[in-house]
């Protein structure tokens, strides 16, 4: 503050004798209203006690500071600052003491600079901290007094800096710096530094850090859960059987244990594998699918383990990671594992035991971290008995087994599935969602579904594509009846010719008939026949083989 400012703010002075009588007044203190106040001993005693007293006149707001002097009292009257300051002094009888506390608080030091960046005030504790004696810093440029200060910058920019860390005397301190304005103009800046014990600060910062990490973990878990639940919701159905499947997935997914998914073709094994992956902690890794039935024997090793550059003719110049490497930190989904050649089974077993892969043509074994999920529509136990599947591999892949029900075990889910596919197909073909006649539900619930949900989807798709009215009726499905004979009626037609009365024999016979019809209808084209039946090609080949037909 300049000399000029200082004289301007003092508006008047008065001297009282020791009895409280007014002896002399100067400036605004000569105003009769003020003189009357000052001439009152009680008022003087109260002013002494409070150290600061407000004087509110209609045209003036003043602050009186009264001190004892030899033989009487001296009162200095100055202009009040803002209304807030005035209210503070008016309402807090110990306002002076608070100001004194703020200026001398040993845990919360203060420094004030003027517009010329000179130190106008610095708390005694702060001065001591910098090894200066009382008053030594005042009047000096703040940069020469406070290490790493930015108060001069705050004076220049007028921008506050709150909660920053300042390195001083080998310590990290939390500081806040604020510009101070009068009539909109920056007249100085105030800096405050927390001098709390370093242990307290460290403990506080550690606690904040711990809480932040905890929150991050919860956030990640919630995100994973929400994302995972979306995949679980994709498994449509409210039957007890499908509810139990969803419950098993929920329980098993977070555990890093191998899972075997068993179920007929088209029952949703791949959907389950996706949900298991997305509901596990590995969801940000990849879900890599290997179709074991389609693995060409000559390329098994390079497919599964990858290869190094130039390891065989036709190999990629840079080399390529195999499926296991791609699944590192993720999940490997071995689909149709029952159809895996015995030789390949041994190779697979080695990786499952050691979790180490070596690229073809390479010499650097690599550890891979994956969760194993396998699926089959085969009866693996029988395969093991027949020597077509390794027992040790069977144990490795099946600590937990999820068995998916065939569609005939949950016919009550058909209406839900129909609605789901209708909405899905409408999206896929960019058409409005069709209305569905209620008797479509009962009609489709009466059919036989050897190809399960995949077959139901195909049937829906064909009907949807040809339905031009925006309303699907039974007629839209009747044309496809060759591929979905009514289960109950067919059973009664075929039972007289069946070898025995058992359901299994009847179903096998019916299946053989349907396959035969499809092969005839598509003039031996197995791809089309499999599509029409809603089964995978490999399933059709196996069936033809079993029926003694020519799979090729
Ligand atoms: N519960 C279900 N809800 C909705 N769609 C399903 C459901 N189950 C299967 N699907 C759908 O049926 C089709 C076949 O499912 P998926 O490929 O998962 O069967 P799969 O058991 O793996 O068959 P395959 O053994 O022939 O490979 C997919 O289009 C899938 O989205």
CA dist 350 and 347 (Å) reads 5
Please tell me the distance between residue 472's alpha carbon and the centre of ligand 1 in angstroms. Answer: 23
Residues paired with residue 261 on neighbouring β-strands, in sequence order? 375, 402
| Residues 412 and 355 grouped into a single domain | no
CA dist 452 and 534 (Å) reads 8
| Ligand 1 atom 8, closest CA | 268
What is the domain range of residue 13?
A: 3-95
Mean pLDDT of the chain, nearest integer:
84
Of 196, 223, 245, at which residue does a domain stop?
196
Q: Would 52 be classed as within a structural domain?
A: yes
CA dist 356 and 374 (Å) reads 19
| Residues 170 and 61 grouped into a single domain | no
| Residues 240 and 389 grouped into a single domain | yes
| Ligand 1 atom 25, closest CA | 265
CATH of the domain at 252: 3.40.50.300
CA dist 38 and 30 (Å) reads 10
pLDDT of residue 245: 96
Of 63, 95, 127, at which residue does a domain stop?
95
CA dist 170 and 333 (Å) reads 57
pLDDT of residue 196: 63
Complex ipTM value? 0.96
C-beta of 453 in contact with ligand 1 (< 6 A): yes
* Residue 134 pLDDT level (bands cut at 50, 70, 90): confident
| Residues 291 and 176 grouped into a single domain | no
| Residues 411 and 371 grouped into a single domain | no
CA dist 223 and 225 (Å) reads 5
Averaged pLDDT for residues 54-74: 87
CA dist 84 and 64 (Å) reads 16
Q: Would 41 be classed as within a structural domain?
A: yes
Q: Would 57 be classed as within a structural domain?
A: yes
Please tell me the distance between residue 85's alpha carbon and the centre of ligand 1 in angstroms. Answer: 75
Q: Would 493 be classed as within a structural domain?
A: yes
CATH of the domain at 520: 1.10.8.60
| Residues 419 and 291 grouped into a single domain | no
Q: Would 205 be classed as within a structural domain?
A: no
| Residues 260 and 398 grouped into a single domain | yes
**Could you tell me what percent of the chain has a pLDDT over 90?**
45
374: enclosing H helix or E strand: strand 370-376
Q: Torsion angle of alpha carbons 408, 410, 414, 417, nearest 10°? A: -120
pLDDT of residue 399: 94
DSSP symbols for 512-551: HHHHHHHHHHTTT-HHHHHHHHT--HHHHHHHHHHTT---
Averaged pLDDT for residues 120-135: 87
pLDDT exceeds cutoff 80 at 380 = yes
| Residues 134 and 43 grouped into a single domain | no
pLDDT exceeds cutoff 70 at 188 = yes
| Residues 391 and 447 grouped into a single domain | no
CATH of the domain at 151: 3.30.450.20
| Residues 76 and 113 grouped into a single domain | no
> Burial letters for 310-337: b for 16+ Cβ neighbours within 10 Å, e otherwise?
ebeeebeeebbbbbbbbbbebbbbbbbb
> Total structural domains in the chain?
4
C-beta of 271 in contact with ligand 1 (< 6 A): yes
pTM value?
0.54
- Please check whether residue 172 is in contact with residue 147, taking contact to mean a CB–CB distance below 8 angstroms: no
Please tell me the distance between residue 398's alpha carbon and the centre of ligand 1 in angstroms. Answer: 21
Assigned token pair, 361: 């043509």
Q: Would 484 be classed as within a structural domain?
A: yes
pLDDT of residue 308: 85
Of 368, 403, 438, at which residue does a domain stop?
403
Q: Would 222 be classed as within a structural domain?
A: no
Q: Would 399 be classed as within a structural domain?
A: yes
pLDDT of residue 551: 52
pLDDT exceeds cutoff 90 at 16 = yes
pLDDT of residue 111: 93
pLDDT of residue 486: 46
The model's pLDDT over 276-325, given as tens digits with 9 standing for 90+, comes to 999 999 998 999 999 988 888 778 888 898 888 776 666 566 788 999 99
The model's pLDDT over 473-523, given as tens digits with 9 standing for 90+, comes to 998 888 776 665 544 332 322 333 344 556 767 777 778 878 877 776 666
| Residues 387 and 270 grouped into a single domain | yes
| Residues 14 and 133 grouped into a single domain | no
The model's pLDDT over 348-361, given as tens digits with 9 standing for 90+, comes to 999 999 999 988 88
């Amino acid at each position: 503050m300049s000399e000029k400012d200082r004289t301007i703010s003092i508006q008047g002075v008065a001297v009282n004798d020791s009895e409280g009588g007014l002896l002399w007044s100067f400036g605004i203190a000569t105003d009769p209203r003020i003189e009357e106040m000052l001439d009152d001993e009680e008022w003087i005693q109260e002013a002494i006690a409070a150290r600061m007293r407000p004087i509110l006149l209609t045209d003036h707001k003043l602050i009186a500071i009264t001190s004892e002097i030899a033989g009487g009292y001296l009162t200095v009257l100055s202009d009040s600052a803002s209304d807030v300051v005035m209210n503070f002094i008016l309402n807090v009888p110990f306002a002076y003491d608070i100001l004194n506390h703020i200026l001398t608080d040993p845990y919360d030091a203060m420094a004030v600079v003027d517009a010329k960046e000179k130190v106008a005030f610095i708390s005694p504790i702060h001065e001591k901290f910098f090894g200066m004696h009382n008053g030594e810093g005042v009047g000096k440029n703040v940069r020469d007094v406070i290490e790493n200060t930015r108060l001069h910058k705050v004076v220049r920019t007028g921008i506050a800096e709150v909660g920053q860390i300042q390195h001083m005397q080998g310590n990290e301190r939390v500081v806040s710096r604020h510009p101070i304005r009068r009539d909109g103009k920056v007249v100085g800046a105030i800096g405050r530094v927390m001098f709390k014990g370093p242990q307290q600060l460290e403990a506080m910062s550690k606690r904040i850090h711990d809480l932040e990490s905890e929150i991050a973990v919860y956030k990640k878990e919630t995100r994973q859960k929400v994302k995972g639940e979306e995949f679980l919701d994709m498994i449509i159905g409210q039957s007890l059987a499908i509810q139990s499947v969803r419950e098993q997935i929920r329980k098993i997914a977070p555990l890093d244990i191998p899972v075997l998914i068993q179920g007929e073709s088209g029952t949703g094994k791949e959907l389950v594998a996706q949900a298991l992956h997305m509901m596990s902690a590995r969801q940000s890794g990849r879900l890599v699918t290997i179709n074991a039935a389609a693995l060409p024997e000559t390329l098994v090793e390079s497919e599964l383990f990858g290869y190094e550059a130039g390891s065989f003719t036709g190999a990629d110049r840079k080399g390529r990671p195999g499926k296991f490497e791609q699944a590192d930190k993720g999940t490997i989904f071995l689909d149709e594992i029952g159809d895996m050649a015995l030789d390949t089974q041994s190779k697979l077993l080695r990786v499952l035991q050691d979790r180490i892969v070596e690229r073809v043509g390479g010499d650097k074994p690599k550890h891979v971290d994956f969760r194993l999920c396998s699926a089959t529509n085969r009866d693996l136990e029988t395969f093991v008995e027949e020597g077509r599947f390794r027992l040790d591999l069977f144990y490795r892949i099946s600590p937990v087994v999820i068995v998916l029900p065939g569609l005939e075990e949950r016919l009550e889910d058909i209406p839900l599935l129909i609605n789901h596919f209708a909405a899905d197909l409408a999206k896929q073909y960019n058409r409005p969602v069709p209305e569905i006649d209620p008797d479509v539900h009962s009609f489709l619930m009466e059919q036989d579904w050897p190809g399960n949900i995949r077959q139901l989807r195909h049937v829906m798709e064909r009907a949807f594509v040809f339905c031009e009215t925006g309303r699907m009726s039974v007629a839209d499905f009747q044309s496809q009846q060759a591929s979905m004979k009514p289960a109950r009626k067919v059973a009664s037609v075929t039972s007289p010719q069946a070898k025995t009365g058992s359901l299994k024999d009847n179903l096998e016979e019916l299946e053989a008939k349907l396959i035969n019809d499809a092969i005839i209808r598509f003039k031996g084209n197995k791809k089309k026949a499999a599509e029409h039946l809603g089964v995978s090609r490999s399933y059709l080949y196996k069936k033809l083989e079993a029926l003694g037909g020519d799979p090729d």
